[in-house]
Chain A
Amino acid sequence: MIQLRGISKTFEDGRTVLRDISTDFHQGNTNLIIGQSGSGKTVLMKCIVGLFTPSHGQVLYDGRDFVTMNKRERTMLRREMGMIFQSAALFDSMSVLENVMFPLDMFSFDSYKERRRRAQYCLDRVNLQDAGDKFPGEISGGMQKRVAIARAIALNPKYLFCDEPNSGLDPKTSLVIDELIHSITKEYGMTTIINTHDMNSVMGIGEHILYIYQGENAWEGTKDEVIHSDNERLNSFIFASDLFRKVKEVNK
């Protein structure tokens, strides 16, 4: 479980992007952080994974405060994390198989044969059995995201972070990625946090949704509670499109 306690972030130029955010992200759930562009959800994600240090507050990983940890403890905790970036962030100079093997090469004491077998298993898990020899530039955006998922799960992480995993993908591929993240979360019992503004993801896999508005925790709930929420800010964000307005009307 990941717990946020009073997270605030003010940058050096005086801009306050996050204000007193507290919430719990439970293990085995797909937790979504949603909000408009510029609402602070990416900064919040970066504070959670330690790319930014919060100005105030605690980030607790199963009770361990990431903010006050020393460098060595942080490094050890990071090995329990997997992350899927918006751009997939695959290493261009490595093949797909080498990308997936990379965390194993760095941190596993297994033999080369074992590491390769594990990497191939992860590629099989994301349905990319035959893509191992290809390079990131030779595969589609959806495939790159799946490789990123395979790399993220290579070390059996306890925590999975996804920064806008559906960005730049068509609706069908987005669904495949959502389903994959959801099933892997259940299979590995991970605490998964997804940063998104894709409403299909919210309605599809949002077991716990945190809505950020101007850097504040504006609403929390499940995908079913979203439909029936009276929160005006949330409704104006979620049901901005005609399609989702009709979904809400049908469900009333």
Chain B
Amino acid sequence: MFIQSYLTALGKYLQLMGRVFSVPERFRVFWKQYLKEMTQLGVDSIGIVLLISFFIGAVICIQIKLNIQSAWMPNWTSGYVTREIFLLEFSSSIMCLILSGKVGSNIASEIGTMRVTQQIDALEIMGVNSASFLILPKIAGLMTMIPILVIFSTISGFLGAYATAYVAHIITPAHLTEGLQHDFNVWFFWMGVIKSFFFAFIIASVSSYYGYRVEGGSFEVGKASTDAVVASSMLILFSDIFLTNILS
């Protein structure tokens, strides 16, 4: 029964995606929606990404310096570990987990509200492919903005680490810089960007699915929003294992 319900949900999700990935009826309308979604889902998330990354960058640097680094370790260890954590996991996976809460709930509640207020029915009656019209710009918009958010997150994390050096004097800026530059592998950067593309697709498509299938009223919209965040977070975590394995 449990497996059957999951397979049914998967089938409905794939059916919805089949409708989503069709050629837009009017490219001028799609383009307008695409720009709007890039702003709403991406640009409006820059603030929270910068803020969280800055503090986590500072905290990681402090933790490594004070609790892990010892006399027999090189001076660049704190900077090196901070860089690797941000490039490999934090800026892609953890940041996308955080974004699944902000962006995912936003998408599910927006589409869910459109469903319960008959706005989706209105689109269907007009002969508009509502799934493609509403969901495709969200997927495309978030997938476009995610690499930028990943880069912003990494830079902000490094700035947080430098704050511990310049403001708190926990580490010297020279040691931090040495660690950030030590044995740099550019593929790690691309690995984070590639993973974030997949996570962006998961956040936008899964949250849209939960919003699109809402039936009822405001209670169901709230439930769909929560379910969307839980499901997309779980899928990000599971897919992170496979993607890390494949890309490493």
- Residues of chain A having any CB pair with chain B under 8 Å: 49-51, 74-79, 81, 83, 85-87, 89-93, 102-103, 105-107, 161
Contact = CB atoms under 8 A, between A and B. Distances in A.
Given A86-B118, A89-B118, A91-B119, A107 B125 contact: no
Interface string B9-50: 000000000000000011011000000100000000000000
Nearest to B26: A106
A79 to B, nearest CB: 5
B246 interface: no
Contacts of B36: 93
A81 B125 contact: yes
Nearest to A151: B122
Determine the main DSSP class of A at the interface with B.
mixed
A103 B26 CA distance: 11
Contacts of A74: 127
B126 A89 contact: no
A105 B29 contact: yes
B99 to A, nearest CB: 21
B122 A79 contact: no
Contacts of B113: 92
Interface of B: 25-26, 28-29, 36, 113, 117-119, 121-122, 124-128
A89 B29 contact: no
A106 B119 contact: no
B125 A106 contact: no
A43 B28 CA distance: 35
A78 B126 contact: yes
A87 B117 contact: yes
Contact of A85 (B29, B118, B127): B118
